Structure 1
């Protein structure tokens, strides 16, 4: 009941995102039911029916991925101070998010069942003069347990994925993370063991930022903007020694609003993504070179490289986004380029993965377009529906991730405005980020699409 009340009282933008999840669930459920109908209408070709059912894995994965992104941006289930006192802790909020996702997906699955039954003629007369009876199994009894099992795949998968993605995690504080400090003879250490007075006097631990009276930035798990950095700086005052170095420091990194650890930590998936992408392209080229790529039975060998290239682009997305932010700041950057680059570097993990998935879907769709001449004409509408569903879910996931990133840097934007930054500067920084990402990922998508389509078109 609480999940239903939160669903009803949500913002219209949140309701729109939930309706989009329901629409994606309806499309995926309809494709699953069509695969069941083809199996009922063609019992002599089980391999073809199994291939249609396996092809529905891509829309299912895209729908689940989109549902996770929507659940992350839901403000009604976000942990806030005081909710634990009334019994709404992180675990309860995670359960509410999973229940809300299950409600949206169940609504979509119910709509898919009603549309499928209507097209079969079970509810009313046969529409479209029976033109779609090939994959509907009209005139045959529909096994209700099998249909309900297929329709339950989307709600169960989406709710389980949301529960795993939003599961409560132990906060990692600065003391637990272990700040870098200097021990004996300049060695790094991460323990809290105190040095003797002689070691302190000889090797000068007072050379650190805290001993000189500089402002220290205490890392925190929820530190996301310049407001927190400035607040930490105001709480830490100068030490007993005063001098030219004891005053407050305001650098470009603080103005950019990204934590130094988040901005300088490069995602580790770039080498793996490049390796998997190269393996996928090599598999497609090998299938084409052996002469099997153009044969009807050899095209599946070339199609094996498409999932590998998609996974490679998805893995390399955060690293490429981080690299793009670093390239913006090269060659004596100004305040605008520095701000845009630092934000890209800090949000590489949040924006890069959906962006890589969008590039993978576009390249795969371009490569699959070369196979349309040999496909059955009766499956054309279903193929179009599946492609539109996957592309729409991935693009909507990218836009939802952008909304999540905007919400995450709300404190940074407020701090910049308090410092006197004009709104036009923030808009130009956003346009610069979008243009840099388009300039990097656009040609990359075209190159991968051409290399993937070349073996399939032969």
Structure 2
């Protein structure tokens, strides 16, 4: 009830962020249900069902990351002294924010279930042209019984994962240097935590590229494949999709470490005030903005690979990149990445408000702060652009030879 009252009394911008979470959850749940429908309608094609399930991993992870970013900036995570006096401490605030995100995702999942059943023809005729041609029915398993337990489980996946991730991330933890105090507020991981996962991110990226190279050379794709990519298994091989998933996850994990490395390179040697300020801010905020930066890096490398494959006529069999449902997943990932990055940037700006005010009181000109922000963005682009090119080129190479 308290979560509902806070939601109804929230500001329009907060409600907009929650609506974006619900929309993303609807898209992710629909993709999961589509994989179930395809499996029910094509029992002789387990590889196709597995490919669609693997394809859902990236949109699902993007949705959970967006829910986590919104929960960290949600007003319920910082209830203030009045809520604390009423017994709503840091732990209950974390549970309250997790319940808010789970509720938003549950609404989106319910909308996805209704749309899925409508397209299958289970709750009336469809109003989409795609469904009118019969393509939706074939892809979603129309005319075949849908496992009730499987559908309920998949509908509950997105709210459960989003709520658990928000509760685990926002739960108060005791710092190493103190015993009687706990950490509160939407602070990101420490710089040492940001750099500790960099080797794992590099390893996952290398493993994903190796898996793509192994599975991405062979027979031409089927016209109705989820992704028009060649492979030993034909159609959309699970190895190719799994390799793409590993590569994307590796880049997201490596994002904080790469951001921290960029800050260290800016502050190396004997820097001036502008370069030192930009480098220190990047190092301090690496754990906060690093993962969205890694997600944008993964999207940029995928876009470059798509241009390499389908920007010219050298793509496999002259096909199209997007199958029936891959366009929805791609649009969902793009929306979540953009919204998550914007939310993280706003959170980082809010977190350094006191530092910015202190610098202005000490006489620092406003153009120095704007210049530091420009240097940070430029340095990130100079570091990540070659990485995106290399990963995108290695991703496209197995399909062009």
TM > 0.5: yes
2:286 to 335, 342, 348: 348
SS at match of 1:83: helix
- Tell me, in whole angstroms, the C-alpha distance in 2 between the residues paired with 1:125 and 1:270: 50
CA distance in 2, matches of 1:270, 1:263: 12
Supply the distance in 2 between the matched residues of 1:265 and 1:385 (Cα, whole angstroms). 34
Displacement after TM superposition at 1:120 (Å): 3.1
Matched, 1:273 2:277: no
Structure 2: which 5+ residue stretches go unaligned? 221-228
SS for the counterpart of 1:158 is: helix
- Contiguous gaps of at least 5 residues in structure 1: 178-219, 226-261
* Cα distance in 2 for residues equivalent to 1:102 and 1:224: 18
Q: Name the counterpart of 2:399.
A: 456
Pairing partner for 1:360 from 290, 295, 298: 298
Q: How far apart are residue 96 of structure 1 and its match?
A: 0.7
1:313 aligns with 2:251: yes
Q: Secondary structure at the match of 2:138?
A: coil
Q: Deviations over 1:417-447 (max 9, x none)?
A: 2223333332222122111111111221111
Tell me how far apart the structure 2 counterparts of residues 149 and 376 of structure 1 sit (CA, whole Å): 35
Moved more, 338-347 or 268-277: 268-277
TM-score (norm. length: structure 2): 0.82
Does structure 1 residue 41 correspond to structure 2 residue 41?
Answer: yes
Return the match for 2:347 from 398, 401, 404: 404
Contact 2:263 / 2:282 at 8 angstroms: preserved in 1? yes
Equivalent of residue 138 in structure 1, options 137, 142, 146: 142
2 CA distance for matches of 1:98 and 1:223?
14
User: Equivalent residue for 1:229?
Assistant: none
Number of residue pairs matched? 379
User: Alpha carbon RMSD of aligned pairs, Å?
Assistant: 3.5
Task: Report the CA distance between 1:142 and its aligned residue.
Answer: 4.5
Cα deviation, residue 412, structure 1: 0.9
* CA deviation vs aligned residue, 1:360-413 (integer Å, no higher than 9, x gap): 243245446749857998982311111111232123222221122112111111
Matched, 1:322 2:260: yes
Correspondence 1:444 to 2:383 = no
Query: Cα–Cα, structure 1 residues 20 and 45, in superposed 2: closer, same or farther, change >3 Å?
Result: same
- Give the C-alpha shift of residue 285 in structure 1: 4.8
Mapped contact 1:224–1:409 kept (Cα < 8 A): no
Structure with greater Cα Rg: 1
Residue matched to 1:168: 172
- Which residue number in structure 1 is paired with residue 223 of structure 2? none
Of 135, 156, 162, the match for 1:158: 162
User: Quick one: higher RCO (CA 8 Å, sep 6+), 1 or 2?
Assistant: 2
Q: Give the structure 2 partner of residue 4 of structure 1.
A: 4
Distance 2:36 2:193 in 1: 48
What does the per-residue CA deviation read over 1:221-270, in whole Å, with 9 as the maximum and x for residues that have no partner?
A: 68999xxxxxxxxxxxxxxxxxxxxxxxxxxxxxxxxxxxx779972333
2:232 to 292, 296, 310: 296
